[in-house]
Amino acid sequence: MSQRWYTFLLAGLFAVGCGEAELIELPTRPDRASFEEMQETLITIGCSAGGGGCHAVLVGNFKVADFPKAPAVTETEYILTKPFVDLDTAEESVLIRTAVRDDPLALGHAICFENLESCSARRILAWINYTGEGDQTMDEACPPEEMIENACFNL
């Protein structure tokens, strides 16, 4: 079969049987757009503050470097964070439970939240739960000025 016939046959197949494709955009969860804002919360409470927090370097496959950082570093940290997040039940996320007082997963980890109602904990939960317009934002869950600096060292 000549090259011309082959091209004609392929073009005919695409024209006849393809129909229309529908494009659906799904939100990226957890929210990639506000990841740096969520990291600022972790830095403020002491996970990495000034390099003095545990996660200033990679610890337990989790790292939160201080700002400023290269976009590739931020992307790597986002990818490292995702396994610690439970998208179905944010309150069950290892990211938060390992730092809540009296949580069985907090054994040996610095305590950063008195409970899940702590301001910073609510910010992180709002970040995990955010799917788009209409959902509670981090600032609505807890204004930044109400966060306790170096909370991981204060509890």
Measured distance between the N- and C-terminal CA atoms of the chain, rounded to whole angstroms: 78
Residue pLDDT, tens place only, 90-125: 999 999 999 999 999 988 888 889 999 999 999 999
For range 127-137, the mean pLDDT: 89
For residue 111, the tally of other CB atoms under 10 A from its CB is 17
Inter-residue contact 140 to 133 (CB < 8 Å):
no
pLDDT band at 24 (very low <50, low <70, confident <90, very high): low
**What's the domain count of the chain?**
1
Q: What is the pLDDT of residue 149?
A: 85
Q: How far apart are CA 133 and CA 37, in angstroms?
A: 17
Peptide bond into 144 cis (omega under 30): no
Q: Which domain holds residue 108?
A: 3-154
Q: How far apart are CA 133 and CA 140, in angstroms?
A: 13
Instruction: Give the long-range contacts of residues 53-58, CB within 8 A, separation 24 or more.
Output: 53/152, 54/110, 54/152
Q: What predicted TM-score, i.e. pTM, was given to this entire model?
A: 0.77
Backbone angles phi, psi at 62, to 5 degrees: -135, 135
Inter-residue contact 125 to 116 (CB < 8 Å):
yes
Residue pLDDT, tens place only, 37-84: 998 888 888 887 554 567 766 677 788 887 778 889 889 989 989 999
